[in-house]
Amino acid sequence: MKKLLSIISLIIGVALIAQVGVAQASTDNSRMPHFDPTIDQVTRLKVRHRAAKKVKINWRNVAGADKYQVRVVRSTNKKLIGKKKVDDNKAALKGLKPYRNYDFKVRAQDNGNYGKYSKKRTVKTTNPGEATKLTVTDEGDANVSWVVEGDTPNGVKVVWSLNEHPTYPTAVGDKYKYISGTETTSTALTAFSGDGTYFVRVCEYLANGECGIYSNEIEVALEGSASTVNVISLLAASNGKVNWSTDGTSAMGYKVVWSKNSNPEYPTRSGDKYQYLSDSSANSAILTAFDGAGTYYVRVCEYLGGECGTYSNQVTVQLGEQASDVTSITATAGSEKVTWGVTGYSVNGFKVVWSKNENPTYPLRDGDKYKYFSDPGATSSSLYAFDGAGTYYVRVCEYLGGSCGEYSNQVSLTLQSTE
């Protein structure tokens, strides 16, 4: 009997322990994070800083959120790189590899529960030596200047607005100026929405329709429109060149528009092409035949930011397949960078070609790589070790559209692997 009572007591004890365990497990499960549809989705995910091994991002605060979770994956294979929790609406992601595409998403958390992830933001880390920081300064009299740490081979976009944090592509109420040359580091702005305090930033243009890193944001007091254009008089010259004179000042520069159809305009119609000259003192441009040789109609207009104001008279020019007149290109090697000077003018810009094999060319041979600079004023490019660390041979050539004309001398660079 005693033995039977002992067995019964043991069974009861095990049952009580199991019951307590289930209750405990049930309690723990109730505290596990879960999706909460009442938590707002994170929006306005932006890149604040982009470097070779680090990306800084921020986003709009979500009401009631006490934490945020950032998710990072490789764009190519969707491999999860990591997740990071932060208390504020910004994060710095380190330990990334140079010249790689990464996808970022962020979701808000409240009391352990989480909302829907933001839309994906894809960011490409830089090559060592590309732009890592931009600083903009108010120079007074509606002028701003900027300093670049690293390189911006595709130029910069200057964006300004009466609203904070102007961006490119522009939001409603934003305006931009594209500065394609790497030598230009200042520009004049206009009060396109009336007198007031405008917020200004400069961003690294990536030539894919987006910006990379942004500068600090400054406030600039602007009054009225600085454009005072009355008449633009356009004349056709030889070899695809046009010249003009302006009665007044076009503060944001000019758009040169040309087409095989009469009266080309900006924004462009189908069959039109344009060249943007941000310098308010510009008075000439060289055009190329983008739609085959023949007669092209040309006009120049006062650029107002997103649209044109006063147009010039229309002229016609005879354009061949190309109008470059380059006679020599001289290349110089730097630290993971090449610079060049040119005698003449390369209408279609340049191809920088590099390889572990001597005398790289464009079109490419097996083992060659290139970078294309459409700006005829481009003078430098950073390079990277696409085929492992070692010595690479580099040349710069005049681009004619599909092939190269004049080549520079060959230089060699020691490049470190980005793997």
**Per-residue pLDDT tens for 265-274?**
998 889 899 8
Which of 343, 335, 339 lies closest to 379 in space, CA to CA? 339
- Which residue segments constitute the domains of the chain, with CATH numbers given? 46-124 (2.60.40.10), 133-222 (2.60.40.10), 231-319 (2.60.40.10), 328-415 (2.60.40.10)
127 vs 123: CA distance, rounded Å: 13
> Has residue 359 got a pLDDT over 50?
yes
Task: Select the more confidently predicted residue: 266 or 48.
Answer: 266
Start-to-end CA distance of the chain, whole Å, equals 77
Per the CB < 8 A criterion, the answer to whether 43 and 89 are in contact is: no
DSSP character for 202?
Answer: E
175 vs 165: CA distance, rounded Å: 12
140-144, 171-175, 372-376: least confident range: 372-376
Which of 169, 125, 128, 132 lies closest to 147 in space, CA to CA? 132
> Has residue 9 got a pLDDT over 60?
no
Predicted confidence band of residue 324 (pLDDT cuts 50, 70, 90): low
DSSP character for 150?
Answer: S
* pTM given for the model: 0.39
Mean pLDDT over 342-365 rounds to 89
pLDDT score of 288: 82
99 vs 141: CA distance, rounded Å: 39
294 vs 321: CA distance, rounded Å: 9
Task: Select the more confidently predicted residue: 239 or 259.
Answer: 259
> Has residue 75 got a pLDDT over 60?
yes
All residues at 6 or more sequence positions from 130 whose CB lies less than 8 Å from its CB, including other chains:
52, 150, 151, 152, 153, 382
Average pLDDT, the chain: 83
pLDDT score of 169: 84
224 vs 208: CA distance, rounded Å: 33
pLDDT score of 203: 92
Name residue, tokens 């900006």.
266
69: amino acid identity, one letter: Q
C-beta pairs of 43-48 under 8 Å, 24+ apart in sequence: 43/118, 43/119, 45/104, 45/105, 45/106, 45/118, 45/119, 45/121, 46/121, 46/165, 46/167, 46/214, 47/121, 47/123, 47/212, 47/213, 47/214, 48/90, 48/213, 48/214
How far lies 184's CA from each of 145, 160, 175, 180, 218, in Å?
Answer: 9, 18, 19, 8, 19
> Has residue 18 got a pLDDT over 80?
no
Predicted confidence band of residue 202 (pLDDT cuts 50, 70, 90): very high
Predicted confidence band of residue 415 (pLDDT cuts 50, 70, 90): confident
Provide DSSP, 238-282.
STTEEEEEEES--TT-EEEEEESSSS--SSPPTTEEEEEE--TT-
DSSP character for 290?
Answer: B
Predicted confidence band of residue 104 (pLDDT cuts 50, 70, 90): very high
25-29, 135-139, 344-348, 350-354: least confident range: 25-29
